[in-house]
């Protein structure tokens, strides 16, 4: 039997009330498209949901990663949702993430975010799909490090001989389009030296040392494709769990600390990443704070059993309260760094247009 591939492909193709939330009709149209693809035998199963203004398609199939038919399916669905729902209803930023006119074989580099992982389905195979809104792919760096390399987060790294060997991280330099593999725990400090700069270095994949695929994350930076600020590249990530991989609880534990990520209002501010249930996956205050949802599934012959809405739990209330306190603290800085992003990141926003106006007014001081 061919291996299973889980493909999570997402795009912001317009939303209700500004950049707030995907419209139910958009979800309906996406579901119809994917149902047809099941009937035609292209995919095995699917799940459609949203995190804020991002439409998320989970698809299972046996066609491998970077398959052009699967990528085209997602592209066509985003186009259809745009034409049938976003445009007629004049939803905000209709078709925003579809940066090119025509599909060209691989959806990577065309706007939408992609996380894909191909593996041999185990006798019981739990997966967790994460989706975040109002942030960027580097937001996964800290939690992925904690899940697969931090023994204070993942007890299994110490206790379970199957995890004890450690994990291999693939890190992408999003500016250079070059990647490097680093082994943990041996090269932990080298890994941290890179991924502590999440705007440039992004964890794209994690493997167990014996080659077992453990996690995959989206890496698209819209501004690097378009050369300007389009919207934040609200990322997705797939993590496999249990039986020689981190437990679901170890995976979720990494989100109990609401770390600061780049994004939030106008993609230009640092804010805490708040873990929320699907019901609360919609940004409000200052277009935020940035949010993350976690959907748990069991795979059976490629079918997706679930989801379990994993952050829908009072055990994360405390994290959410701290996130609200941090949001308040950061907001009080107004337009000042480091609440506002630094000049490198602001280069892709509309700030340079404002600064341009002042250029001629600077006088040389002797
Ligand atoms: C952040 C985001 C929003 C918008 C903001 C301004 O990723 O999407 O914070 O940047 O609402 O949007 P415009 O310029 O479209 O009015
Ligand atoms: Mg939007
Ligand atoms: Mg979004």
Residue 149: the pLDDT is 98
- For residue 59, the cross-strand partners are 7, 46
Per the listing, tokens 């995890």 go with 163
Residue 79: the pLDDT is 97
Ligand 1 atom at shortest distance from the alpha carbon of 288: 9
Query: Kind of pairing, strands 54-61 and 113-119?
Result: unpaired
* 1 confidence band (pLDDT: 50, 70, 90): confident
User: What CA–CA distances, in Å, run from 133 to 19, 38, 49, 209?
Assistant: 10, 28, 13, 31
Per the listing, tokens 């907001």 go with 331
Q: What is the mean pLDDT of residues 348-361?
A: 91
CB of 232 shorter than 6 A to ligand 1: yes
Contact between 219 and 174 (Cβ < 8 Å): yes
CB of 266 shorter than 6 A to ligand 1: yes
On the question of pLDDT at 128 being above 80, the answer is yes
Q: pTM of the entire structure?
A: 0.97
Report the distance separating Cα 71 and Cα 65, nearest Å: 9
On the question of pLDDT at 222 being above 90, the answer is no
Least confident interval from 149-158, 218-227, 254-263, 333-342:
218-227
Residue 107: the pLDDT is 92
The tens digit of pLDDT for each residue in 198-207 reads 999 999 999 9
On the question of pLDDT at 167 being above 80, the answer is yes
Ligand 1 atom at shortest distance from the alpha carbon of 350: 14
Task: Tell me if residue 200 is catalytic.
Answer: no
Task: Tell me if residue 232 is catalytic.
Answer: yes
CB of 231 shorter than 6 A to ligand 1: yes
Q: Which residues are CB-neighbours of 174 under 8 A, at least 6 positions away?
A: 137, 199, 200, 201, 202, 219, 221, 224
Residue 229: the pLDDT is 76
* 109 confidence band (pLDDT: 50, 70, 90): confident
Residue 227: the pLDDT is 81
Atom 15 (ligand 1): residue with closest C-alpha? 93
Distance from Cα 319 to the centre of ligand 2, integer Å = 25
Task: Tell me if residue 12 is catalytic.
Answer: yes
- For residue 167, the cross-strand partners are 184, 208
Out of 133, 229, 287, 348, pick the active-site residue.
229
On the question of pLDDT at 232 being above 80, the answer is no
């Amino acid at each position: 039997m061919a291996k299973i591939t889980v493909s999570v492909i997402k795009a912001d193709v317009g939303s209700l009330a500004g950049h707030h939330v995907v419209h139910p009709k958009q979800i309906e149209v996406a579901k119809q498209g994917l149902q047809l693809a099941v009937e035609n035998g292209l995919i095995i199963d699917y799940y459609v949901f949203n995190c804020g203004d991002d439409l998320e398609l989970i698809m299972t199939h046996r066609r491998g990663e970077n398959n052009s038919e699967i990528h085209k399916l997602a592209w066509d669905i985003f186009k259809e949702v745009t034409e049938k729902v976003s445009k007629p209803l004049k939803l905000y930023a209709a078709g925003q993430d579809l940066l090119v006119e025509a599909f060209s074989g691989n959806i990577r580099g065309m706007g939408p975010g992609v996380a894909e992982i191909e593996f041999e389905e185990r006798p019981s195979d739990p997966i967790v799909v994460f989706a975040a809104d109002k942030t960027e792919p580097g937001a996964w760096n800290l939690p992925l490090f904690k899940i697969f390399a931090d023994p204070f987060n993942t007890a299994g790294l110490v206790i379970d001989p199957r995890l004890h060997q450690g994990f291999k991280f693939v890190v992408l330099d999003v500016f250079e389009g070059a990647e490097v593999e680093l082994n943990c725990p041996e090269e932990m400090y080298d890994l941290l030296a890179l991924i502590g700069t999440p705007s440039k270095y992004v964890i794209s994949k994690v493997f167990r040392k014996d080659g077992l695929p453990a996690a995959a994350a989206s890496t698209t930076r819209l501004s690097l494709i378009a050369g300007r600020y389009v919207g934040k590249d609200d990322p997705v990530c797939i993590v496999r769990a249990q039986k020689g991989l981190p437990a679901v609880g170890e995976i979720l534990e990494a989100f109990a600390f609401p770390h600061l990520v780049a994004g939030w209002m106008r993609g230009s501010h640092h804010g805490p990443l708040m873990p929320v249930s699907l019901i609360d996956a919609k940004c409000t205050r200052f277009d935020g704070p940035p949010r993350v949802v976690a959907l748990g599934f069991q795979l059976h012959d490629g079918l997706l059993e679930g989801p379990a809405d994993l952050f829908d739990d009072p055990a994360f209330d405390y994290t959410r309260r701290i996130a609200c306190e941090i949001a308040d603290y950061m907001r009080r800085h107004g337009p000042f760094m480091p609440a506002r992003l630094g000049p490198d990141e602001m280069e892709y926003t509309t700030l340079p247009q404002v600064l341009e106006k002042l250029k001629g007014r600077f006088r040389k001081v002797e």
